[in-house]
Amino acid sequence: MSEPQRYDVITIGSATEDVMIQANSAKVITIEDVDGERAYMAFEYGGKIHVDDILITVGGGSINTAITFAKQGMTVAPISEMGLDEPGDRVVARLESEGARTDLLVRSAENNTGYSTIITTFTGERTILVYRGASRELTKEDLPWDRMSNTEWMYVGALAGESSELYPLLGEFAAEHNIKVGLNLGTAHIDEAWRRSRASCATPTSSSRTRRRRAGSQECRPTEGPRMRWRCSGACTRSAWTSW
């Protein structure tokens, strides 16, 4: 009987085919109201727009990190759900060409592979159109739990839709099997985790002075930056991972 495959890293998250477009003719329109200022990328409505460059590649949090780790010489396998379609085939081919394993990937006959269109304009800023597709449908039944225990690290990217329910399960699994975890949440997940966990912390204030509050035995303090957040020790931060 052969030894089970060992991994340095397993990456869990989205898989997409990406189209990157350079469109210097886009207009940037700034609108200011009582809530502040926002900028919008604009094109002529109904027009046919010339683009300056285009690149078709693969993307998604799980795939991008898997390729990066493979280039470092690590044994890495992504876990993502993709469609049984040509974009999914191209993602698999790219992973194989970079030396990443593809034996933990999930293919779906019901959903298409995720797809992103990334539009960059003359300012260098970009706007992204995202179709998450099959990536949203990854569930606990899809995960090869027995094989996942044979890794030293687990990287977990942003999970959307039904897949977001995996966060607490992955955290518990990693703890049970002594697997080190790298977590890269999306903005929506961070905001939601903050909303759920702030009951364990003091209410932030707008004072410019550094203030401290205590929530039970946990110390919380505001972080620097344009958006006031609290950095909390102990159970306060752990709840952001486990309260999903």
The H-assigned helical ranges of 29-116 are 61-71, 86-98
Q: How far is CA 44 from CA 31, 57, 82, in A?
A: 18, 27, 34
Handedness of CA 243, 76, 58, 122 (dihedral sign): positive
Q: Which two tokens stand for residue 72?
A: 């470092």
Domains of the chain are 7-184 (3.40.1190.20), 188-244 (no CATH)
What is the C-alpha to C-alpha distance for residues 150 and 8, in angstroms, rounded to an integer? 9
pTM: 0.74
What is the C-alpha to C-alpha distance for residues 133 and 126, in angstroms, rounded to an integer? 21
> What is the reported pLDDT for 200?
58
Query: Which residue reads 């992204």 in tokens?
Result: 128
Q: Cα 137 from chain centroid?
A: 14
Q: Which helix or strand (DSSP H or E) is residue 173 part of? A: helix 166-176
> What is the reported pLDDT for 40?
95
> What is the reported pLDDT for 107?
95
In a 3-state reduction of DSSP, which class is residue 140? helix
Mean pLDDT by 10 residues, the chain (244 residues): 82 95 96 94 94 96 96 96 96 97 94 96 95 91 93 92 88 94 80 67 46 40 43 41 44
> What is the reported pLDDT for 201?
58
> What is the reported pLDDT for 2?
62
Convert 70-85 to b/e letters by CB count within 10 Å (16 or more is b).
beeebbbbbbbbbbeb
